[in-house]
């Protein structure tokens, strides 16, 4: 999905998308049942290191998406931090009541989100859109007409964005020659939405006709790309298991907080 920012490819680029998604779902359910704060902290840190190692993408791009993901993770836990229960107050001002217990519980929730987001970003940085749908068609028996329809719709998104910018620039020039009363408020929105919808409906119809003529139907078909399971998938599974195992070891050898269960503090 981020091919324009790629610098190099590695084993995770060649791993099957189904393996990546299965591991992502399993990781999501696994961290839900992790209540040891140090363990969750090390899992999140190692997942972030793993993301930077396997992304094969420009450092600034990875750092930007990681910062955005971490920011949303912290924002999602603010309600628990600001209004949680506890007996050891740290800050009290108006309706905001931060305690040691609420702080650690909120941070624990953020670490869960960061760990899953880091692995999700590693999937996004190492997976091409085409290979996603080819893998679904060949291994999960998704009907080609649905897979190709989704693939075409994703490919059309840049065209929609380009159409929006072109239309906006054209309207800026036209607005110089007409009275401002004709394009204030809701009128400006109408001038953008109606032409944009009509243009893209025509493009979608032409694309649908072209796909039908080229034989994009549910019958038997061959594929230009062959997705397979190989040693890369085994290596990916072993690495994820290794990250979790190493996190267990570090949480036992180098505990940073010593909190065995955030629910009981």
Predicted local distance difference test score (pLDDT) of residue 185: 67
Predicted local distance difference test score (pLDDT) of residue 26: 95
Chain centroid, CA 44 distance in Å: 16
Render pLDDT for 167-191 as a digit per residue (tens, 0 to 9): 778 777 767 766 666 666 677 777 7
Q: Say if residues 75 and 61 touch (Cβ distance below 8 Å).
A: no
Q: How many residues does the chain have?
A: 265
Q: What is the mean pLDDT of residues 57-79?
A: 88
- The answer to which of 58-62, 88-92, 198-202 has the lowest mean pLDDT is 88-92
Other CB atoms within a 10 A radius of the CB of residue 196 amount to: 16
Of 192 and 55, the one with more pLDDT:
55
pLDDT at 199 over 60: yes
Predicted local distance difference test score (pLDDT) of residue 200: 79
For residue 263, what pLDDT band results from cuts at 50, 70 and 90? confident
For residue 227, what pLDDT band results from cuts at 50, 70 and 90? confident
* CA–CA dist 166, 113 (Å, integer): 38
pLDDT at 62 over 80: yes
Alpha-carbon radius of gyration of the chain: 24
Residue whose pair of structure tokens reads 């750092």 in the numeric block? 63
Backbone dihedral angles phi then psi of residue 6, each to the nearest 5 degrees:
-70, 140
Nearest to 105 by CA among 122, 88, 124: 88
pLDDT at 4 over 90: no
Most distant CA pair in the chain, distance: 73
For residue 96, what pLDDT band results from cuts at 50, 70 and 90? confident
**Percent of the chain, pLDDT > 70?**
88
Render pLDDT for 100-123 as a digit per residue (tens, 0 to 9): 777 888 888 899 999 999 999 999
* CA–CA dist 263, 107 (Å, integer): 12
pLDDT at 1 over 60: no
What is the sign, positive or negative, of the torsion defined by CA atoms of 142, 148, 149, 152? positive
- The answer to which of 64-73, 118-127, 140-149, 211-220 has the lowest mean pLDDT is 211-220
Q: Say if residues 126 and 12 touch (Cβ distance below 8 Å).
A: yes
What is the value of pTM for the model shown? Answer: 0.78
């Amino acid at each position: 999905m981020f091919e324009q920012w790629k610098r190099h490819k590695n084993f995770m680029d060649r791993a099957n998308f189904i393996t990546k998604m299965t591991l992502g779902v399993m990781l999501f359910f696994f961290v839900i049942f992790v209540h040891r704060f140090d363990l969750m902290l090390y899992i999140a840190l190692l997942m972030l290191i793993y993301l930077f190692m396997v992304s094969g993408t420009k450092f600034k791009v990875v750092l930007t998406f990681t910062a955005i993901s971490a920011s949303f993770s912290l924002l999602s836990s603010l309600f628990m931090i600001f209004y949680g229960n506890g007996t050891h107050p740290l800050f009290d001002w108006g309706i905001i009541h931060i305690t040691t217990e609420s702080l650690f519980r909120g941070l624990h929730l953020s670490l869960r989100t960061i760990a899953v987001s880091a692995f999700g970003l590693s999937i996004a940085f190492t997976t091409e859109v085409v290979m996603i749908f080819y893998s679904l068609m060949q291994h999960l028996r998704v009907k080609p007409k649905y897979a190709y329809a989704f693939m075409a719709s994703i490919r059309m998104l840049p065209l929609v964005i380009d159409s929006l910018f072109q239309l906006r620039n054209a309207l800026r020039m036209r607005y110089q020659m007409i009275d401002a009363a004709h394009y204030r408020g809701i009128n400006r929105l109408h001038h953008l939405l109606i032409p944009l919808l009509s243009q893209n409906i025509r493009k979608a119809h032409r694309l649908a006709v072209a796909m039908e003529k080229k034989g994009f139907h549910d019958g038997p078909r061959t594929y230009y790309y062959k997705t397979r399971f190989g040693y890369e998938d085994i290596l990916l599974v072993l690495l994820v298991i290794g990250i979790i195992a190493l996190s267990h070891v570090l949480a036992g050898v180098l505990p940073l907080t010593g909190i065995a269960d955030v629910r009981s503090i």
